């Protein structure tokens, strides 16, 4: 019985492996977009979590400031907040780079990360390329970058508004 089972199942398993391998080597646009959508959702969701934590920390720290607070403390809070925002983007781009490298679409992690940063920032002018069948992955990475950078911009507007109000109160 096990001999019959193995002669029946093994060819099916091998066929599935070949189909998956062929789909990765030369995916249809539907396959490519279907594999990229979870990345877009994950990156944007993670970005929302990061921004929530960064905004809350800024607000909590800023609330302690009054018109007598030293300017260097205000500048330090601003610098730390901007560094956190930038770091969130650098971490999020790993979400794209790791599978590109792991699946062998780009040969080294360094090249995968470089490609991801170029697409995420919508620069898209680098030397690193994905295989021809994966040409939609770059625009999908760019979509996540557009959303997250726009969202980061809104947090910076909030932060700068708070700082402007503080400067107005402290100069009286």
Give the per-residue pLDDT at 160: 94
What is the percentage of the chain residues whose pLDDT exceeds 90? 64
The CA distance from 85 to 27, in Å, is: 35
The CA distance from 50 to 25, in Å, is: 34
Residue 107: which domain range?
26-170
Residue 21 in domain: no
Give the per-residue pLDDT at 20: 44
The CA distance from 40 to 144, in Å, is: 5
- The two tokens of residue 167 are 């400067």
pLDDT confidence band for 167 (50 / 70 / 90): confident
Bigger pLDDT: 135 vs 4: 135
pTM here is 0.78
CATH number, position 39:
1.10.287
Residue 153 in domain: yes
Bigger pLDDT: 132 vs 58: 58
Quick: pLDDT tens for 21-40.
456 778 888 988 888 999 99
Residue 65 in domain: yes
Work out how many domains the chain is built from and give that number. 1
Bigger pLDDT: 83 vs 130: 83
């Amino acid at each position: 019985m096990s001999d019959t089972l193995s002669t029946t199942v093994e060819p099916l398993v091998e066929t599935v492996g070949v189909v998956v391998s062929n789909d990765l080597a030369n995916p249809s646009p539907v396959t490519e977009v279907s594999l990229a959508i979870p990345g877009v959702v994950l990156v944007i969701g993670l970005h929302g979590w990061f921004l929530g934590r960064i905004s809350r920390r800024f607000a909590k720290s800023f609330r302690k400031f009054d018109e007598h607070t030293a300017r260097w403390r205000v500048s330090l809070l601003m610098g730390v907040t901007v560094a956190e925002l930038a770091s969130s983007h650098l971490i999020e781009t790993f979400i794209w780079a790791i599978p590109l490298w792991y699946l062998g679409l780009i040969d080294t992690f360094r090249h995968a990360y470089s490609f991801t940063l170029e697409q995420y920032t919508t620069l898209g002018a680098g030397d690193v390329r994905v295989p021809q069948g994966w040409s939609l992955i770059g625009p999908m990475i760019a979509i996540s970058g557009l959303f997250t950078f726009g969202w980061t911009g809104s947090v910076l507007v909030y932060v700068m508004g708070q700082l402007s109000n503080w400067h107005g109160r402290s100069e009286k």
